Amino acid sequence: MLFLEFLARWGHVLFGVTWIGLLYYFNFIQGAYFAEATADAKADATQKLAPRALWWFRWGAMGTFLTGLYLLMVLGAGLSQYILIGATMGIFMFLNVWLIIWPNQQIVIGLKQGDAATAGGKALLASRTNTLFSAPMLYGMLASRHGVQIQSYDFSDLGFMLALAIIVLLEINAIFGKTGPIASVKGVIQSSLLLTAVIFGVAHYL
């Protein structure tokens, strides 16, 4: 059983590196390249590069989700408020990949019919939101087992509930809202670090 837990943790990290690495690639590198590339270069990358990257991206997300679910539901994985906050963001990120980003990217790269401009905007907002969640999500996962701790999860705790409320509101914005300050690479990095401080400050001190 202990070895299975180790394998699940190893797989969770391995899949997570694949997923989040590609998330950062899309947000920090590919987007800027597409904005500057010639029409021919962009078309070639859209047809040949993007589908391959999106395959690894979405299945990396799936592997991360399944191994994380195993750790949470089967093993318990040392549940605390921190890990539940991180897991909530991770689940939303996974859902964003499969229910928003991938369906809309299929339109953008020509695998499905639809309005590419509208689809691209929806995919971008969800992708930026995942980038926004990435730093606090990782902080919650690591802090749950290394160093800073707060009490075992308690849904009646004000700070915990407020932290979850902030996450839910940001996810609602990912579905129906606008990019706002996370539209730029600099903005989403700064916002992600700020969100980490806000969420865990609220969870810890309220």
Please write the tens of the pLDDT for every residue from 77-102: 667 888 999 999 999 999 999 999 99
As given in the structure block, the two tokens for residue 190 are: 């700064």
Is the full-model pTM beyond 0.85?
yes
| Residue 3 pLDDT greater than 60, yes or no | yes
For tokens 């890990």, what's the residue?
83
Report, as an integer, the average pLDDT of 99-106: 98
Rounded to whole angstroms, the Cα distance separating 61 from 95 reads 9
The rounded mean pLDDT for the chain is 92
Q: Which residue has the tokens 């605390």?
A: 80
* pLDDT number for residue 143: 85
Q: Are 108 and 167 in contact (CB under 8 A)?
A: no
Q: Measure the CA–CA gap between 80 and 91, rounded to whole angstroms.
A: 16
The predicted structure's pLDDT at residue 73: 85
Domain of 184, in residue numbers: 2-205
Residues near 141 by Cβ (< 8 Å), separated by ≥ 6? 82, 83, 86, 87, 90
Look at residue 80 in the predicted model and tell me its pLDDT.
82
Helix, strand, or coil (residue 179): coil
135-194 residue pLDDT tens:
999 999 888 765 555 545 565 688 999 999 999 999 999 999 999 999 999 999 999 999
Number of domains in the chain: 1
Give the residue among 172, 187, 194 at the shortest CA–CA distance from 202.
194
